[in-house]
């Protein structure tokens, strides 16, 4: 897991929503409206167990990220360049150029929730294809009583082709296995977002987005060059084998 490498960015993210310091606390009506559009919440109750399980999931779309960044810029009176620098570090720290990011908030009241291994308990359906997390907050593996929040990440690009998985109007379906909590029993929790391609994060504006795309393309080029080197080595080995076979054929034919 690479989650530990994002600790600084996650501290910054947590600071936005803690102690009343988040955008909503500053009366950011536009931010609140955008947050409501990209957040889904479900609560399950069990009277026999005397408890409840609540989960809220916020999909980090381009619109949501822009609203969050603009709200912070207005609150802190940033210049345009300061905003772009903050946005770049925020997005890079959370690796949003490579992943689809979803912020989860959970609350378990009653018997403890047991969510380990979390990567087997949650999945994202993109169209007809199911994807496991590429990374997540490791605290989701620990028993839960009370509240916990953190990030979970899913691939944004096809592993083989490098093409974006979100390239047209489609639905995203986040599915949480009911086994995570005795409150849920066997009932899955499903959250669905209907998105356009630009909602998925490819349309984040400004120089920060350009810098992130350059970073991603450089990493993609490094991968392609490594694959090219490996294929060239395989081709060279095959050519040597062909030469050896031809030489043996000529030797046998000339006897």
Reported confidence tier of residue 93, pLDDT bands at 50, 70, 90 = confident
Cβ–Cβ under 8 Å, residues 113 and 102:
no
Please give the pLDDT value at position 57: 97
Spatial contact of 86 and 78, defined as CB atoms under 8 Å apart: yes
In this predicted structure, the answer to whether residue 158 has a pLDDT above a threshold of 60 is: yes
CB atoms within 10 A of CB 14: 14
Domain boundaries along the sequence of the chain:
3-204, 206-255
**Under 8 Å CB-to-CB from 194, ≥6 apart: which residues?**
169, 170, 171
**Do residues 121 and 189 make contact, with C-beta atoms less than 8 angstroms apart?**
no
- Residue 199: the pLDDT is 61
Cα 55 from Cα 41, distance rounded (Å): 6
Q: Residue 148, Cα to own-chain centre: how many angstroms?
A: 18
pLDDT of residue 2: 53
> Where residue 135 falls among pLDDT bands split at 50, 70, 90?
very high
- Residue 113 reports pLDDT greater than 50: yes
Q: Residue 204 above 70 pLDDT?
A: no
In this predicted structure, the answer to whether residue 206 has a pLDDT above a threshold of 80 is no
- Cα gap 228→106, rounded to integer Å: 45
Q: What is the arithmetic mean of pLDDT over 184-198?
A: 85
pTM beyond 0.75: the answer is: no
84 vs 72: CA distance, rounded Å: 12
Instruction: State the pLDDT at residue 134.
Output: 95
% of the chain with per-residue pLDDT over 70? 83
Query: Which pLDDT band, with edges at 50, 70 and 90, does 21 fall under?
Result: very low
What pLDDT, on a 0 to 100 scale, did the predictor assign at position 132? 96
What pLDDT was estimated at residue 205? 63
* pLDDT of 192 above 70: yes
pLDDT of residue 17: 47
More confident residue, 49 or 119: 119
Per-residue buried b or exposed e for 38-48, using 16+ beta carbons within 10 Å of the residue's own CB: bbbeeebebee
Per-residue pLDDT of 229-239, as tens digits, reads 988 899 999 99
pLDDT value for 96? 76
* The pLDDT value given to residue 182: 92
Alpha helix stretches (DSSP H) within 161-253: 207-253
Q: Share the mean pLDDT of the chain.
A: 83
**How far is 32 from 75, CA to CA, in rounded Å?**
15
Least confident range from 16-25, 63-72, 175-184: namely 16-25
Q: What mean pLDDT comes out for the span 82-97?
A: 82
Backbone angles phi, psi at 115, to 5 degrees: -110, 10
Q: Look at residue 148 in the predicted model and tell me its pLDDT.
A: 96
- The arithmetic mean of pLDDT across residues 149-173, rounded, is 88
Place of tokens 């990030």: 151
Question: Two tokens at 33?
Answer: 């409206």
Smallest CA-to-CA distance from 106 within 115, 96, 93 is with 115
Write down the H helix ranges in 7-94: 7-17, 29-38, 62-76, 80-93
């Amino acid at each position: 897991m690479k989650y530990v490498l994002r600790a600084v960015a996650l501290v910054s993210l947590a600071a936005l929503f803690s102690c009343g310091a988040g955008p909503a606390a500053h009366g950011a009506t536009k931010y609140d409206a955008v947050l409501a559009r990209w957040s889904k919440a479900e609560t399950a109750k069990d009277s026999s167990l005397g408890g409840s399980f609540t989960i809220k999931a916020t999909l980090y779309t381009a619109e949501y990220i822009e609203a969050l960044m603009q709200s912070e810029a207005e609150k802190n009176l940033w210049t345009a360049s300061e905003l772009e620098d903050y946005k770049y570090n925020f997005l890079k720290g959370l690796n949003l150029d490579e992943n689809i990011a979803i912020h989860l908030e959970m609350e378990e009241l009653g018997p403890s929730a047991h969510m380990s291994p979390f990567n087997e308990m949650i999945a994202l359906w993109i169209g007809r294809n199911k994807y496991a997390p590429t990374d997540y907050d490791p605290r989701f593996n620990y028993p839960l009583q009370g509240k916990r929040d953190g990030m979970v990440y899913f691939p944004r690009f096809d592993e083989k082709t490098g093409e974006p998985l979100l390239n047209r109007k489609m639905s995203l379906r986040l599915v949480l296995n009911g086994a995570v909590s005795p409150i849920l029993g066997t009932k899955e929790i499903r959250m669905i977002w209907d998105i356009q391609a630009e909602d998925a994060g490819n349309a984040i504006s400004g120089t920060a987005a350009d810098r992130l795309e350059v970073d991603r393309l450089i990493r993609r080029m490094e991968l392609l060059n490594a694959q090219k080197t490996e294929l060239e080595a395989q081709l060279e080995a095959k050519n040597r084998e062909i030469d050896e076979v031809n030489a043996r054929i000529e030797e046998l034919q000339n006897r």
